[in-house]
Amino acid sequence: MEYFNLHTHQFTNQSDVLELVNQYPKDFDASIPFYSIGIHPWYIDENRLNEDLKIIEEKLQTKNCLAIGECGLDKRIEVSFELQVSIFEKQLELAEKYKKPVVIHCVAAFQEVLAIKKKMKINVPMIIHGFSKNNQLAEQLIAAGFYLSFGKYLLKNPDLKSVFQNVPNDRFFLETDTIEESIKEVYELTSEYKGLKIKELEEIISSNYRSVFEL
């Protein structure tokens, strides 16, 4: 593995990239080699909750399923927040049961995510994907044991540069999510921001990968 893409919705099948492809239970594609699977707060369907959780639990027991997610909390959608919390907590219980990391979608609910981690005493690694907030929140999350993943917003928002530069090298990942740009382009920008050679950056991410995904 030269490159690791922590979170993508597009499987590009490049030999030098390990892609953690986001999958949803109802659209599961068995041809994707490595994936995460979860119930995204946007797509909570109360009519198939039990079925979705059953599929997730079944997949978590396979070696190709590297993580649960993306799952989490989003205060900017119509879905009841109490329902979101309930589904998120059910998925965290599965993550703990099967010792899988969690890829988290979080919008305007970081304090709640922090509180849930503490309340449930979650020990598996938790990664906030698509981080786009300030230094203060980044420091708070890192102090609580979270990893932060950067990609889309880092490419589009120069103000995020200093936040990324302050994140310790052992606590970040890189991703493409839904953007057109490749993971290699994300690596190029972040190596420049961190003042590292691409090879050094690859080694840092590989080390973080081993810490989180080879539990």
Binding site residue list for a divalent metal cation: 70, 105, 129, 177
Contacts of 214 (CB under 8 A, 6+ apart): none
Structure tokens at 4: 């690791």
Q: Where are the alpha helices (DSSP H) in 31-80?
A: 49-60
Helix (H, G, I), strand (E, B) or coil at 168: coil
Q: What are phi and psi of 54, to 5 degrees?
A: -65, -45
Q: Distance (Å, rounded) from C-alpha 78 to C-alpha 90?
A: 20
Structure tokens at 84: 């979101």
The binding site comprises: 70, 105, 129, 177
Q: What is the DSSP letter of 39?
A: -
